[in-house]
């Protein structure tokens, strides 16, 4: 009853105030009155206002964070380092102790050190001193794997009875076919060792050199080849499995880890293998899509060889009186694709040309005739239109640049070796649908 009385009294007071304020302030005073009532009798309104105040305070505390797009990096390839494997130079043998038979307690209390029989040294052990003076250049992970493997397996992998093992030739067969996998065989070339090395000092002849010196030089040759070839094998395995390009170093858009390869296990497999060539080539991707790309690449290479294609370097632009290493390709292209009449007209120029780089007046006249014959502007300038006639059949073009598919198939093969072996573009360059 008392509450009603208070409410009624307040409402009456408000109405009196509104009437006294006049007609002009009627709307604003009414709004103020309603707001006062909401604050007094509406808890939900009160909580809402408190929440707004807290949110405003929180917004004031929040710091502005600037988010930038991923950056494109200047690519840095894997770094090869010069390493020493001197830790493998020493042969470690265990100390033997002996005690009284049947009296283990006495033996434990009074160990007696006895001379162990001389250890049986392998050919690898005999060549270990060579490590003291040998240095190698290789990837750090390859050096780590080599040291771990030979510490546990002190035997030659590539040397048998002082000679190069047949396994070497099997491995070289895999390396020679690296171009079929979009790799470069030249990257895996290793010279065979000289099994009869000369003495280290020029002042010492072979006659006066001691047997020890000769043996040390031979050990260096064998051990140097052994480690160098093992390093090459592991490098090929890494390239075949994960590729030579780390996409994470291209830009911040890539964040996938490279494949982890157990290189020590690979060497253990090599040691027990009778077909090293198959073992190494199997390190490349083996799925159907990759196989289709390989077949397409092989077909393109065969076509290039059959066509005896002459390629002028992209971007070549040559004017009269200038010099360019591409001049010999330009002349070769005219000689191959020009008409008999053109070649007869410029027979003296073609016969006298000897691979000079200078774009002489005689060669300018030759090119102008070729341009006129192919309905091009006969200005003598060798540019885009002259070097690649895309509007005419390839046989009539001066020199066709490699078609896009020939350029991109190797890239697609390389992409297969990236993280997760994803090739986003590869399927477009297969001649057979997969």
Whether the per-residue pLDDT at 51 is higher than 60: the answer is yes
| 228 and 199 together in one domain | yes
| 164 and 225 together in one domain | yes
The dihedrals phi and psi of 275, each to the nearest 5 degrees, come to -135, 80
Percent of the chain with pLDDT over 90: 32
User: At a CB cut-off of 8 Å and minimum separation 6, what does 179 contact?
Assistant: 185
Q: What is the pLDDT of residue 177?
A: 92
| 300 and 347 together in one domain | no
CA–CA separation, 70 and 157 (whole Å)? 46
| Cβ neighbourhood burial of 181 (10 Å; 0-12, 13-18, 19+) | buried
Helix, strand and coil percent figures for the chain, each rounded to 5:
55, 5, 40
Sign of the Cα pseudo-torsion (17, 18, 19, 20, in order) = positive
Give domain status of residue 376, yes or no: yes
Which tokens is 404 given?
Answer: 């896009």
| 90 and 164 together in one domain | yes
Is residue 278 within 8 Å of 413, Cβ to Cβ?
A: no
Return contacts of 24-27, CB within 8 angstroms, 24+ apart.
Answer: none
Higher-confidence position of 286 and 148: 148
Tell me the pLDDT tens digit for each residue of 56-98: 877 777 666 677 788 889 988 899 999 999 999 988 654 444 4
Provide the 3-class DSSP secondary structure of residue 82. Answer: strand
Give domain status of residue 4, yes or no: no
Closest Cα to residue 240, out of 416, 75, 412? 416
Give domain status of residue 12, yes or no: no
CB atoms within 10 A of CB 91: 14
Higher-confidence position of 249 and 309: 249
Burial 338-373 (b: 16+ CB within 10 A, else e): beeebbeebeebbeebeeeeebbeebbbbbbbbbeb
| Side-chain-side CA neighbours of residue 336 (13 Å) | 18
Tell me the pLDDT tens digit for each residue of 305-353: 666 667 788 778 889 999 998 898 888 888 888 888 989 999 999 989 9
| 147 and 261 together in one domain | yes
| 375 and 423 together in one domain | no
* Residue that is written with structure tokens 């690898």 in the block: 124
Tell me the pLDDT tens digit for each residue of 76-86: 889 999 999 99
Burial 410-421 (b: 16+ CB within 10 A, else e): bebbbbbbbbeb
- Tell me the pLDDT band of 288, cut-offs 50, 70 and 90: confident
CB atoms within 10 A of CB 380: 20
CB atoms within 10 A of CB 222: 25
- Tell me the pLDDT band of 39, cut-offs 50, 70 and 90: low
* Residue that is written with structure tokens 């290793």 in the block: 190
Tell me the pLDDT tens digit for each residue of 252-275: 887 778 888 999 999 999 999 999
| 259 and 351 together in one domain | no
Give domain status of residue 252, yes or no: yes
| 389 and 300 together in one domain | no
Q: What is the pLDDT of residue 426?
A: 43
Give domain status of residue 76, yes or no: no
| 119 and 200 together in one domain | yes
Give domain status of residue 206, yes or no: yes
CA–CA separation, 285 and 414 (whole Å)? 10
Is residue 225 within 8 Å of 127, Cβ to Cβ?
A: no
- Tell me the pLDDT band of 122, cut-offs 50, 70 and 90: confident
| 352 and 251 together in one domain | no
Give domain status of residue 166, yes or no: yes
Tell me the pLDDT tens digit for each residue of 221-231: 999 999 999 99
| 202 and 257 together in one domain | yes
Burial 116-125 (b: 16+ CB within 10 A, else e): eeeeeeeebe
Q: pTM (2 decimals)?
A: 0.61
Which tokens is 220 given?
Answer: 């260096």
Give domain status of residue 220, yes or no: yes
Sign of the Cα pseudo-torsion (247, 251, 256, 257, in order) = positive
Which tokens is 287 given?
Answer: 């799925």
| 140 and 263 together in one domain | yes
CA–CA separation, 110 and 104 (whole Å)? 10
Q: How many domains does the chain have?
A: 3
- State which residues form the domain around 392: 327-396
CA–CA separation, 180 and 174 (whole Å)? 10
Whether the per-residue pLDDT at 152 is higher than 60: the answer is yes
């Amino acid at each position: 009853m008392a509450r009603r009385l208070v409410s009624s009294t307040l409402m009456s007071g408000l109405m009196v105030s509104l009437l006294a304020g006049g007609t002009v302030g009627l709307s604003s005073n009414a709004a103020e009155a309603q707001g006062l009532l909401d604050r007094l009798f509406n808890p939900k309104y009160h909580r809402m206002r408190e929440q707004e105040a807290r949110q405003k305070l929180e917004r004031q505390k929040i710091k502005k964070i600037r988010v930038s797009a991923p950056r494109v990096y200047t690519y840095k390839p894997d770094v090869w380092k010069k390493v020493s494997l001197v830790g493998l130079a020493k042969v470690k043998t265990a100390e033997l102790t002996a005690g009284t038979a049947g009296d283990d307690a006495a033996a434990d209390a009074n160990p007696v050190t006895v001379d162990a029989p001389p250890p049986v040294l392998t050919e690898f052990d005999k060549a270990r001193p060579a490590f003291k003076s040998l240095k190698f250049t290789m990837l750090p992970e390859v050096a780590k794997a080599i040291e771990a493997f030979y510490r546990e397996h002190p035997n030659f992998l590539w040397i048998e009875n002082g000679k190069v093992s047949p396994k070497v030739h099997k491995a070289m067969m895999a390396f020679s076919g690296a171009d079929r996998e979009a790799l470069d065989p030249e990257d895996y070339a290793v010279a065979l060792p000289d099994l009869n090395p000369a003495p280290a000092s020029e002042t010492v002849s072979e006659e006066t050199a001691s047997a020890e010196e000769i043996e040390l030089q031979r050990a260096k040759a064998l051990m140097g080849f052994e480690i160098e070839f093992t390093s090459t094998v592991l490098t090929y395995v890494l390239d075949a499995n994960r590729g030579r390009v780390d996409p994470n170093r291209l830009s911040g858009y890539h964040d996938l880890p490279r494949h982890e390869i157990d290189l020590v296990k690979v060497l253990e497999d090599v040691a027990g293998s009778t077909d090293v060539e198959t073992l190494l080539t199997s390190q490349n991707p083996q799925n159907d899509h990759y196989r289709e790309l390989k077949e397409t690449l092989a077909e393109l290479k065969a076509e290039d060889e059959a066509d005896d294609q002459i390629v002028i370097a992209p971007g070549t632009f040559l004017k009269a009186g200038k010099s360019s290493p591409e001049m010999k390709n330009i002349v070769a292209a005219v000689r191959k694709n020009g008409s008999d009449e053109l070649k007869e007209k410029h027979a003296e120029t073609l016969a006298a040309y000897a691979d000079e780089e200078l774009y002489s007046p005689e060669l300018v006249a030759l090119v102008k005739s070729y341009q006129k014959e192919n309905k091009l502007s006969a200005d003598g300038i060798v540019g885009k239109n002259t070097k690649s006639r895309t509007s005419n059949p390839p046989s009539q073009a001066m020199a066709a640049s490699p078609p896009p598919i020939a350029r991109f198939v190797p890239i697609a093969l390389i992409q297969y070796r990236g993280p997760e072996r994803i090739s986003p573009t590869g399927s477009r360059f297969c001649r057979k649908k997969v």
